[in-house]
């Protein structure tokens, strides 16, 4: 059973999906700590409700990113996590932090920091991915679980889910459609990591034993 640290800045619905999947046995692991850079973040309340220890390392006004991340590492070390999951954590991590959670003896070459991004990478990295997809006129949007490297949403892709963009979509409607998929996709990807099924070949992530559906094309818009 792996120990998971979740880093969150906001409401924590993805954290909740991970907590629920651990409780239901979908992930062979448990959330050992929730760390936030935002005092009072909804994610902290969710952790407390689930009986999970919390840590807060405020980032407001902090300019020394290396010192901030070093403080986070020190707090996380108390909980001995095997994997760090970013779930709406709105800051870039420093190289020093990422080195501390580089590949381990058992991670089959995979780094040990994962993120969920509400866009189909490599399109629309960074903030407001849903707004970017809508403004661009993309017909499909979605979400991506990826390992984290030093870039913004540039690390190796573990899994993606696709949703259509509808002609009358608002940013909120599209974001809600994507979020529902995030809640399905992230626990699945973390479950694969926990089961030791992920390995890294260059920047391609392999999922051991994954069977694909019949290859099918998705098309949008549909026209009967
Ligand atoms: C999600 O859309 C996630 O993909 C993005 O920030 C949002 C966080 O939502 N990085 P929540 O805090 O998990 O509810």
Ligand 1 atom index nearest CA of 179: 2
For position 218, what pLDDT does the model report?
A: 85
13 CA from centroid of ligand 1 (Å): 7
Residue 107 lies in a domain: no
Q: How confident is the model at residue 223 (pLDDT cuts 50, 70, 90)?
A: confident
Beta bridge partners of 85: 6, 114
Residue 26 lies in a domain: yes
> What mean pLDDT is predicted for residues 118-131?
98
User: Which residue among 42, 179, 190 has the greatest number of ligand 1 atoms within 8 angstroms of its CB, and so is best to mutate?
Assistant: 179
User: Which residue among 12, 14, 21 has the greatest number of ligand 1 atoms within 8 angstroms of its CB, and so is best to mutate?
Assistant: 14
Eight-state DSSP code of residue 16: H
Answer yes or no: do 10 and 88 share one domain: yes
Answer yes or no: do 121 and 206 share one domain: yes
Residue 79 domain boundaries: 1-101
Q: Distance from CA of residue 150 to its chain's centroid? A: 15
Q: Distance between CA 168 and CA 118 in Å, rounded?
A: 19
The angle, 0 to 180 degrees and rounded to 10, between the axes of the packed helices 13-24 and 42-49 is 20
Instruction: Annotate 26-65 with b (16+ C-beta within 10 A) or e (fewer).
Output: bbebbbbbbbbbbeebbbbebbeebebebbebebeeeeee
Locate the DSSP E strands across the chain: 2-7, 29-36, 54-56, 83-86, 113-117, 140-147, 157-164, 198-201, 204-207
Ligand 1 atom index nearest CA of 143: 4
224 CA from centroid of ligand 1 (Å): 35
For position 211, what pLDDT does the model report?
A: 84
For position 89, what pLDDT does the model report?
A: 96
Q: Percentage of the chain with pLDDT > 70?
A: 100
For position 185, what pLDDT does the model report?
A: 98
Pairing relationship of beta strands 29-36 and 2-7 according to DSSP bridges: parallel
Q: How confident is the model at residue 222 (pLDDT cuts 50, 70, 90)?
A: confident
For position 84, what pLDDT does the model report?
A: 98
Domain's final residue, options 101, 130, 153:
101
pLDDT one-digit tens code per residue, 157-171:
999 999 999 999 999
Contact status, residue 54 vs residue 36, Cβ threshold 8 Å: yes
For position 25, what pLDDT does the model report?
A: 97
Instruction: Annotate 86-104 with b (16+ C-beta within 10 A) or e (fewer).
Output: bbbbebebbeebbebbeee
Q: Per the structure, how many domains does the chain have?
A: 2
> What mean pLDDT is predicted for residues 64-89?
97
Q: Is the pLDDT of residue 214 over 90?
A: no
Ligand 1 atom index nearest CA of 117: 4
Total-model pTM: 0.96
Answer yes or no: do 13 and 82 share one domain: yes
Q: How confident is the model at residue 212 (pLDDT cuts 50, 70, 90)?
A: confident
Q: Is the pLDDT of residue 193 over 90?
A: yes
Q: Provide the mean pLDDT of the chain.
A: 96
Pairing relationship of beta strands 157-164 and 140-147 according to DSSP bridges: antiparallel
Name the residue at shortest CA distance from atom 1 of ligand 1: 88
At residue 125, φ and ψ (nearest 5 deg) are -75, 175
Answer yes or no: do 91 and 130 share one domain: no
214 CA from centroid of ligand 1 (Å): 31
Q: Is the pLDDT of residue 224 over 80?
A: no
């Amino acid at each position: 059973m792996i120990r998971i640290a979740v880093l969150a800045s906001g409401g924590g619905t993805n954290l909740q999906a991970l907590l629920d999947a651990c409780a239901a046995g979908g992930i062979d692991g448990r959330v050992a700590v929730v760390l936030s850079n935002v005092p009072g973040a909804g994610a902290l309340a969710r952790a407390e409700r689930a009986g999970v220890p919390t840590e807060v390392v405020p980032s407001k006004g902090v300019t020394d990113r290396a010192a901030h991340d070093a403080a986070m590492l020190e707090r996380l070390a108390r909980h001995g996590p095997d994997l760090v999951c970013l779930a709406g954590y709105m800051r870039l991590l420093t190289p020093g932090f990422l080195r501390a959670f580089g590949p381990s003896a058992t991670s089959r070459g995979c780094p040990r920091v994962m993120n969920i991004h509400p866009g189909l990478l490599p399109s629309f990295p960074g903030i407001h991915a849903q707004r970017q997809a809508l403004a661009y006129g993309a017909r499909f949007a979605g979400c991506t679980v990826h390992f984290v490297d030093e870039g913004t949403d540039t690390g190796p892709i573990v899994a993606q889910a696709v949703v259509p963009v509808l002609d009358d979509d608002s940013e909120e409607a599209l974001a809600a459609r994507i979020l529902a998929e995030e809640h399905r996709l992230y626990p699945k990807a973390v479950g694969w990591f926990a089961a030791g099924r992920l390995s890294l070949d260059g920047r391609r992530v392999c999922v051991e034993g994954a069977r694909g559906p019949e290859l099918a094309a998705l098309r949008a818009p549909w026209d009967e």
